[in-house]
Amino acid sequence: MKKKKVIIFGGIGVAVVALVALNAASNRDRGQSVRLEDVGHRDLVATVTASGQIEPKRSVDISADITGRIIQIPVEEGDWVRRGDLVLRIEPSQYEAAVARARATLASAEAAALQNRANRDQALRAVDRARELKRQDPNLVSDEQLEQAETQYEVAEALYTSSQHQVAQARAGLQEAQEQLAKTVLRTPMDGQVTRLAVEEGEVAVPGTFSRATGLLMTIADLSVIQVTVRVDETDVVRLHLGDSTEVTIDAFPDTTFTGRVTRISQSAVQGVAQTAGGTTQAVDYDVEVTLDDPPVGVRTDLSATAKIVTATRDSALSIPIIALTVREHTAISTESAPQDTTKGAEEVEGVFLVKDGVAEFRPVKVGIAGEEYFEVLDGLAAGDTIVAGPYQTIRDLRDGARVRATNERGSQEGS
């Protein structure tokens, strides 16, 4: 009895294995499971997406040109100011003393100049008298006396000229001291908002000789024109043009999309460091400025934003899914009668797998712009052609001439 049961179960197992093997063989004959899609026409929009920060079109960093203790800051961060308004005052006592010294020096130089001019005029009259006496009677004035009078006049003239230069030098010193004193009062050069206040009363203002950040006191920004400065990779920046339309999303306003235009593309790169699998490499990015058409109320500088820049559009373009495009070795077939160069071998070309009667055939295609999900087809396919559109790994491993079967309903030839 036990022997009978073993035989029965063994027979059932063999039948199951045979059924599984038969089913697998049947699936192999039917081909690999793929997703098919018909080539159709769609509206395509090519974009470049980059992140950056909100910045005003114009801003001014106010810094000190002199060293001194800050005694007054009549504005606060966020205040609106007009051109010429007082925004900061530095202790002026030492610079007022410098002006007083310069005035005294100028007065002294002017007095010396007056004295030297009087001496010169007196020497000139002495020379004139000596010459007149010499003309009337050569015996009244000797040649030596006349020569001495002329020499004294020349010396007096030189001293007067020197004193005039000293007056000019003292006057320049006074002007410099007055300018230094004037720098103790800082006024805004433009209308705008105080977006940054880096100091407080009682601190010492120092000139930013070696570092711009060291001497920064405050920043005034004109927020009437708002722009987003984003960094675009070198491979994408060549597709951008001035005036390209842009959609901007600001993290602080998550439910709103703003429009803008590209208003500046930098001509020089901003060098940065990018992390790669093997270490670090030099990343080459370019600053691109996008001016918002209608900035939101309450927008602030340095807010994070993302810009989607439209670089090209196509209406009703023949298109294929991006995932369908792959690369294979392919030997081009020439229609000319000239002999083929067989030494070069096959080259890697882009293409898709065209499906006819359940067989996938690699077809080279030429593509144009890329939308979010589809490539524009310039050559190689026609509307209505059926291609393999997925899955990605299957397309990657698929061989030319392999049998395939659809696991989905074909995509529509017309899309949005």
- Tens of pLDDT, residue by residue over 313-330, are 999 999 999 999 999 987
Q: Do 382 and 333 share a structural domain?
A: yes
For residue 236, pLDDT beyond 80: yes
Q: Do 337 and 262 share a structural domain?
A: no
> Among the three residues 137, 166, 183, which one is the final residue of a domain in this structure?
183
Q: Do 321 and 280 share a structural domain?
A: no
Per-residue model confidence (pLDDT) at position 224: 85
Tell whether 194 is covered by a domain. Answer: no
Domain that holds residue 375: 31-44+317-406
For residue 409, pLDDT beyond 80: no
d(CA 123, CA 106) in angstroms, rounded, equals: 26
Number of domains in the chain: 3
Q: Do 179 and 98 share a structural domain?
A: yes
Q: Do 299 and 344 share a structural domain?
A: no
Longest dimension (CA), the chain: 176
Contact call for residues 1 and 373 (beta carbons, < 8 A): no
> Among the three residues 274, 289, 313, which one is the final residue of a domain in this structure?
313
Per-residue model confidence (pLDDT) at position 413: 42
pLDDT in tens, 303-317: 999 999 999 999 999
CATH number assigned to the domain comprising residue 356: 2.40.420.20
Q: Do 162 and 119 share a structural domain?
A: yes
Whether residue 339 has a cis bond before it, omega within 30° of 0: no
Q: Is 158 helix (H, G, I), strand (E, B) or coil?
A: helix
Contact call for residues 302 and 319 (beta carbons, < 8 A): no
Mean pLDDT value of segment 99-125: 95
Per-residue model confidence (pLDDT) at position 2: 46
pLDDT in tens, 42-98: 999 999 999 999 999 899 999 999 999 999 999 999 999 999 999 999 999 999 999
Contact call for residues 260 and 93 (beta carbons, < 8 A): no
pLDDT in tens, 364-394: 999 999 998 999 999 999 999 999 998 989 9
Q: Do 170 and 141 share a structural domain?
A: yes
DSSP letters, 259-292, are EEEEEEE-SS-EEEEEEETTEEEEEEEEEEEEEE
d(CA 403, CA 8) in angstroms, rounded, equals: 39
CATH number assigned to the domain comprising residue 244: 2.40.30.170
Q: Do 234 and 248 share a structural domain?
A: yes
Tell whether 359 is covered by a domain. Answer: yes
> Among the three residues 183, 198, 232, which one is the final residue of a domain in this structure?
183
Per-residue model confidence (pLDDT) at position 325: 94
**What is the Cα Rg of the chain in Å?**
44
Q: Do 376 and 335 share a structural domain?
A: yes
Q: How wide is the angle at C-alpha 73 spanned by C-alphas 103 and 59, nearest 5°?
A: 100
d(CA 387, CA 35) in angstroms, rounded, equals: 9
Q: Do 153 and 123 share a structural domain?
A: yes
Mean pLDDT value of segment 213-229: 88
User: Tokens representing 401?
Assistant: 């001439």
Tell whether 177 is covered by a domain. Answer: yes
Tell whether 166 is covered by a domain. Answer: yes
Identify how many contiguous H helices and E strands the chain contains and give both numbers: 5, 21
Contact call for residues 237 and 252 (beta carbons, < 8 A): no
Tell whether 291 is covered by a domain. Answer: yes
353-367: buried (b, 16+ CB within 10 Å) or exposed (e) per residue? bbbeeeebebbebeb
Q: Is 307 helix (H, G, I), strand (E, B) or coil?
A: strand
